[in-house]
Chains A and B, each alone.
Chain A
Amino acid sequence: MLYRSALNRAIDECMGADESVVILGEDVGRYGGSYRVSEGLISKYGEKRVIDTPIAELSIVGNAIGMAIAGLRPIAEIMTVNFSLLAMDQIINHAAKLRYMSGGKMTIPMVVRMPGGVSRQLAAQHSESYETLYSSVPGLIVLTASNATYAYHGLKWAIKSNDPVIFLEHELLYPMDMEFKEIQDFDPFRAEIVKEGRDLTILTYLKMRYDVIEAQKELKKFGIDAEIIDLNSLRPLDIETIAKSIKKTKKCVIVEEDHKTGGMGAEVVAQIMEECFYDLDAPVLRIAGEDVPIPYNRKLELASIPTPDKIVDKILKWKAENGI
């Protein structure tokens, strides 16, 4: 199943089952969605529930919060996480805080969906990964969908959740044809063990999952059997699954597309230190994006983020340096 079709199916089924579900965003209706996620929904559910908004991200999220207060279940689509900075006040100061500062009186059943990450030569203002900004906010649930199965089940869960969910997608994944599995007892907060292994634990999420899988094929040639874990949920973080894996492998690598400084990996490392420091044979290795805005030139762009080759090189070097 195409990744974008899995998202579409989740929205379609929720809209079909519950008329309080609406979707709003730039070009979600008549145009069919910037990445075709909402394709076909307007002809099925009409323009009142598939809402074309102006280019006003603050209002897209703010309006969604108001709709949620009034009893709807809005899905706000932001064209890319880069533009969500314009909506940050609504996401952080309002969606995340209204319930708490009202003493539990307010309920905000809302999803903000948005893709991020480096696509192909879109330059600095269209290529960022801001998961770390949102996953640092109490009151938000932050999920990432790296595959069709999680995209479908995770988004359905998010739409039905009574709390605000930030649902992160990746621009390069939309057209990918992926394996799809129906899951009966889906748990959105559970990390996925993509591949079992005994030598080291590689933690990753979103599009980097595929770069790590590529890298593992190469690592195997060096006799390294890595366990690959897709975090899925960034807030809350499934530290239990991570700690269990590290207990077994004694070594941990984090691969993320986000900038290294203050990126998601930084928080994951901190939690590993708290949970299973004494299980580690070596310092955790972070393989992350460089600390620069993403450049346009393809060579420079690729140099700014992890690639399968770089992941392999860095892991081999780290192993040698640490004698592990």
Chain B
Amino acid sequence: MNRARVEKFYYLMKLGREFELKAKEHYMLGDIAGFLHLDIGQEAVSVGTMQAFDKGDVFTHYREHVLALARGMDPKIVMAELFGKKTGVSKGKGGSMHLFDPKLDFYGGDAIVAGHLPIAVGCAYARKLQGEKAGVFAIFGDGASNAGAFFESINIASAWKLPIMFFAENNYYAIGTHISWVSPFVDLVEKAKNYMPTFTCDGMDVCDVYNTVTQAKEIIENGLGPVFIEAKTYRYEGHSMSDAGKYRSEEEMEIFKRKDPIENLKKKAIELNLVDEKYFRELDAKVEYVINEAVEFAASSPEPEIEELWEDLFCKECENVIP
């Protein structure tokens, strides 16, 4: 851990947290609708992975605001997308669950559980063919690890030695179903260890996530095939805004809140004398400014025009032909 890294990790995790708290507030106000899946509590995973896996392609599920921000997506266009505005990253057509930016090699935002995994595997196949070393990062939850698409994907990636990192974000609950009720393994690495090298890390500790991804990605970069990482983590909020999360006990919640990734990073950095309280207050002020700016941008942006309903279905050459 060094000062520059503390700054980067803290800033991005705090940005993610405050972004989502603000999104929650505006959901209550009716500015944001539909499904809003918050990542609060899991920021170490989003930030640690994206900081370490800084090249290559990213495929993600629908709980992806913080991952997108950590990848470098502008908070303004992410917030505008949540508000359903024309200026949003997906022009208001995707919403919270569908953030895409090929310029950042960030390919969504997939809301079919495990549906993005075969796509990530195909991308990894192409990257191997093209001689690209960085490979593909695919993140998914414990719920996805029970789906057929997951098992097909680890099988194919392993059979063909594809450059792909499967990152299991195990927050124990698929909406309200605990992993132990529906899987023979609570430790998801058990599902992958016969297929590829596996790693575990503490999903509440950004440095551990960062270090583990950094170590595992060497295997991919050296052309040795896929890797699997599991991070145990916890979401403080319900599955989405429509879930009060009553299936979890307060004791369980407390265990994880004591390990809060943002507070713990701060504590550790001060203990190590890398920075002081004032340093964090300054970063907090910067985050507040950026978030307010994002909300202002989203709120003042125009709605899409009705004509846009029929746009973006096909590529230009087809739009000429297809009514």
Give me the interface of A with B, judged by CB distance under 8 Å.
22, 48-49, 51, 53-54, 56, 58-59, 61-72, 74, 89-90, 93-94, 98-107, 138-139, 141, 161-163, 187, 189, 236
Contacts and interface: CB of A to CB of B under 8 A. Distances in A.
Contacts of B315: 99, 107, 161-163
Given A62-B149, A66-B59, 19 more contacts: A22-B129, A48-B129, A62-B122, A63-B125, A64-B122, A66-B126, A67-B126, A69-B122, A69-B123, A93-B112, A94-B112, A99-B313, A101-B90, A101-B93, A101-B98, A106-B107, A162-B317, A162-B318, A163-B315
B119 to A, nearest CB: 4
Given A63-B156, A106-B107, A236-B322, A101 B94 contact: yes
A20 B312 CA distance: 24
B274 to A, nearest CB: 39
Contacts of A100: 93, 312-313
Given A59-B118, A90-B115, A94-B119, A70 B130 contact: yes
B103 to A, nearest CB: 9
A98 B115 CA distance: 12
Contacts of A141: 314, 318, 322
Interface of B: 57, 59, 88-94, 98, 100-102, 107-110, 112, 115, 117-127, 129-130, 148-149, 152-153, 155-156, 159, 311-315, 317-318, 321-323
25 contacts: A51-B125, A58-B149, A59-B156, A63-B156, A66-B118, A66-B121, A66-B123, A67-B125, A67-B126, A69-B123, A69-B126, A71-B130, A90-B115, A94-B110, A94-B115, A101-B100, A102-B98, A103-B91, A104-B91, A106-B100, A106-B102, A106-B107, A163-B314, A163-B315, A236-B323
A104 B101 CA distance: 10
Contacts of B148: 58
Contacts of B59: 66
Contacts of B102: 69, 105-106
Contacts of A98: 100, 108
B118 A90 contact: yes
B313 A59 contact: no
Given A103-B89, A189-B321, A72 B129 contact: yes
Q: Which of B92, B94, B125, B159 has the most CB of A within 10 A?
A: B125
Contacts of A187: 321
Nearest to A239: B323
Contacts of A101: 90, 93-94, 98, 100, 109
Contact of B126 (A53, A72, A102): A72
Nearest to A65: B119
Contacts of A61: 118
Contacts of A48: 129
- What 5 A-B pairs have minimum CB-CB distances, sorted nearest first? A62-B118, A66-B122, A103-B91, A63-B122, A70-B126
Contacts of A63: 118-119, 121-122, 125, 156
Contacts of A22: 129
Contact of B311 (A59, A72, A104, A163): A104
Contacts of B92: 103
Q: Which of B115, B311, B323 has the most CB of A within 10 A?
A: B115
Contacts of A138: 313
A187 B322 CA distance: 12
A71 B148 CA distance: 26
B136 to A, nearest CB: 8
Contacts of A106: 100, 102, 107-108
